[in-house]
Amino acid sequence: MTRIDRKFAALKAEGKKAFVSYTMAGDPDYDTSLELMKGLPGAGVDIIELGMPFTDPMADGPTIQLAGQRALDGGQTLQKTLDMAAEFRKGDDDTPIVMMGYYNPIYSRGVDRFLTDAKAAGIDGLIVVDLPPEEDEELCIPAQKAGLNFIRLATPTTDDRRLPKVLQNTSGFVYYVSITGITGAAAAQATDVGPEVARIKAATDLPLIVGFGIRSPETARAIASVADGAVVGSAIVKMVEEKRTVPEILSFVESLAAGAHSA
């Protein structure tokens, strides 16, 4: 079992839904980003999604695009992102870390080297949004063999014909994108998400976590009530952009986590 598997088993035993947070590694700088990351579990975060900054993040809206650019301008690299995870692991060996981003930086580093280094840094899973199931031999299969979960995105346009292909090599959990569009673009609606979650859960035993468009504790609760948990990214990253302090950001994260956990 991976840390992700153990986390979901523990949450299920407690009758709780998961709260997943996304932050961009290196935004606004390495030290602040690491301080924020270290504070997330104490604020109620069950799984940390750590963004890998990239110059062309096609699935992301302006908030996360700008976060990636700030990180890159500040000197963040894939190596520094792995270093952050390793530093975090010195004080926390339980909270799962999922690296989320795009394939180009991984490809540039070399898949075998990246997987070895990610495993050594304490990474538990990968979300690589621009690698479809047709390219599973490229990274997904090697990642699974290395002991990392490979988490796939399902969307409102993933129909019943496409769904089995999306699910076939997915592990850890399924990430359901609640809206058609980019991150931070629209508000998620539990009434829209509920039937889709039920449809996907009928095809897999994996936990299903919903992200995109969740900005408040109330929405986190509503979404978690129809799924296995909720992901918040842009709303947290926006506070970093606004130069809010780490304690202020963690207080907001705590309110989101409480919303999801009360579902």
49 is catalytic: yes
Q: Which of 27, 46, 60, 254 is catalytic?
A: 60
In degrees and rounded to multiples of 5, residue 158 shows phi and psi of -80, 95
Q: Which of 27, 46, 49, 196 is catalytic?
A: 49
Q: How many CA atoms lie within 13 A of 28 on its CB side?
A: 10
60 is catalytic: yes
- Are 8 and 53 within 8 A, CB to CB? no
Active-site positions?
49, 60
